[in-house]
Structure 1
Amino acid sequence: MDKQRLILVVLTVLPLAAACGTDKAGSGSVSAEKPVTGVHWSVDSVTVDGKTHKAPEGANVEMKDGKAAGNYGCNHFNAKVTTAEDGTIRLSHATTTRMACEKPVMTFEQTLADTLVGGALKTAVTDDHLTLTTANGDTVRLTESAESTS
Structure 2
Amino acid sequence: MQTQTTRTFASAASAAALALFLAACGAEGGSSGSGPGSGSGSLAPDLVVAGTHWTIGAVTVDGRRSAAPDGARLAFGKDGRASGNSGCNGFGATVDVQGDTLTVSQQGITEIGCPGDRQRFEKDLVKAFDGELKGRQEGETLTLASADGRNSVELTEEPSVPLRGTIWKIDGLVSGGTASSLTPGTGGKARLVIGADGRVSGNLGCNNFGATARVEGKKLTVEGPAATTRMMCTGTQMQLETQLYEILDGPLTYRLDHRTLTLTDARGKGLTATAAPAGEPSGATGGTSETTGEPSGTTGGTSETTGGTDGQNQPSAG
Q: What TM-score does the superposition give when structure 1 sets the normalisation length?
A: 0.71
1:136 aligned partner: 148
Which gives a bigger RCO, structure 1 or 2 (Cα 8 Å, sep 6+)?
1
Of the candidates 108, 111, 120, which is equivalent to residue 132 of structure 2? 120
Q: Does 1:39 align with 2:52?
A: yes
CA offsets, 1:71-92, max 9 Å, x none? 11111122211234x5312222
- In 1, distance between residues paired with 2:259 and 2:152? 24
Q: Deviations over 1:5-34 (max 9, x none)?
A: xxxxxxxxxxxxxxxxxxxx62x4x576xx
| Contact kept? 2:61, 2:127, Cα under 8 Å | no
CA gap 1:101/1:91 in 2 versus in 1, 3 angstroms:
same
**Equivalent AA in structure 2 for residue 78 of structure 1:** G
Contact conserved, 2:95 with 2:102, CA < 8 A, in 1?
yes
The reply to whether residue 76 of structure 1 matches residue 187 of structure 2 is no
The DSSP-based 3-state class of the residue aligned with 1:112 is helix
RMSD after superposition: 2.0
Matches within 5 A, 1:6-85: 26=43, 28=44, 35-64=48-77, 65-84=79-98
Q: Is the CA contact (8 Å cut-off) linking 2:54 and 2:158 kept in structure 1?
A: yes
Deviation of the 1:116 alpha carbon: 2.6
The 1:132–1:93 alpha-carbon spacing in structure 2 relative to 1, beyond 3 Å, is: closer
| Identical residues among aligned pairs (%) | 37
Equivalent-residue separation in structure 1 for 2:51 and 2:136 (angstroms): 16
CA positional deviation for 1:136: 1.9
SS in 2 for 1:74: coil
**Equivalent-residue separation in structure 1 for 2:119 and 2:54 (angstroms):** 20
Q: CA deviation at 1:70?
A: 1.6
User: Which residue identity does 1:83 align to in structure 2?
Assistant: V
By how many angstroms is 1:148 displaced? 3.3
SS class of match (1:120): strand
Match of 1:12 in 2: none
Matched residue pairs, number? 120
* One-letter identity of the residue aligned with 1:125: Q
Letter in 2 for 1:148: R
Counterpart CA distance in 2 for 1:66 and 1:31 is 14
How far apart in 1 are the matches of 2:100 and 2:46?
A: 10
Structure having the higher Rg: 2
Give the deviation of 1:48 after TM superposition.
2.5
Equivalent residue, structure 2, for 1:108? 121
Structure 2's unaligned 5+ residue stretches are 1-41, 160-257, 261-273, 275-318
Whichever residue aligns with residue 119 of structure 2, its letter is M
1:70 corresponds to which letter in structure 2? Answer: G
Residues 35-81 of structure 1: CA distance to partner in whole angstroms, max 9, x if unpaired? 32211100000123332100111111111221111211111122211
Deviations 1:81-128 (A, max 9, x none): 1234x53122225122110011111101111222233x3100111100
**TM-score normalised by L of structure 2:** 0.35
Contact map agreement 1:44 1:55 (CA 8 A) in 2: yes
Distance 1:78 1:48, change over 3 A: closer
Query: Runs of at least 4 residues of structure 1 off by over 6 A?
Result: none
